[in-house]
Amino acid sequence: MNQKRLQQQIRQLAADQGALLMAHNYERDEIQEIADITGDSLALSIEAKKTDKQIIVFCGVHFMAESAAILAPDKIVLLPRADAGCPMADMVTAEGLRKFKQQHPDATVVTYVNSSAAVKAESDICCTSSNAVSVARSVKAKKLLLVPDRNLGRYIASQTPEKECICWEGYCPVHDQLKVEEIKQAKEDHPEALFMVHPECQPEILEMADHICSTSGMYEFAAKNPAKKFIVGTENGILWRLRKENPDKQFIVPSPVLVCRDMKLTRLEDVLLCLETMKPQVTVPEEIRVKAKQALDKMLAVPRD
Query: Which residues lie near ligand SF4 (CB under 6 A)?
Result: 61, 86-88, 114, 172-175, 200, 235, 260, 262-263
- Least spacing, CB of residue 234 vs ligand SF4, in Å: 8
DSSP annotation of 283 = -
Contact characters 167-196, ligand 13P, x per CB under 6 A: -----x------------------------
Report the residue from 45, 108, 129, 151 that binds ligand 13P according to the rule CB under 6 A.
Answer: 129
Contact characters 190-229, ligand 13P, x per CB under 6 A: --------x-x-------------xx--------------
Residue 102's alpha-carbon distances to 26, 122, 289, in angstroms, are 36, 12, 22
- Rounded to the nearest 10°, the torsion over CA 155, 151, 207, 26 is -100
Q: How far apart are CA 227 and CA 125, in angstroms?
A: 36
Q: Following DSSP, what letter does each residue of 110-145 receive, concatenated?
A: EEESSS-HHHHHT-SEEE-TTTHHHHHHH---SEEE
**Residue 146 in the binding site for ligand 13P (CB under 6 A):** no
Closest CA to 178 of 216, 229, 212, 226: 212
CB 214, CB 129: distance < 8 Å = yes
Q: Of the two residues 123 and 128, which places its CB atom closer to ligand 13P in the complex? A: 128
Contact characters 87-126, ligand 13P, x per CB under 6 A: ---------------------------x------------
Interaction site with ligand 13P (CB under 6 A): 25, 40-41, 114, 128-129, 172, 198, 200, 214-215
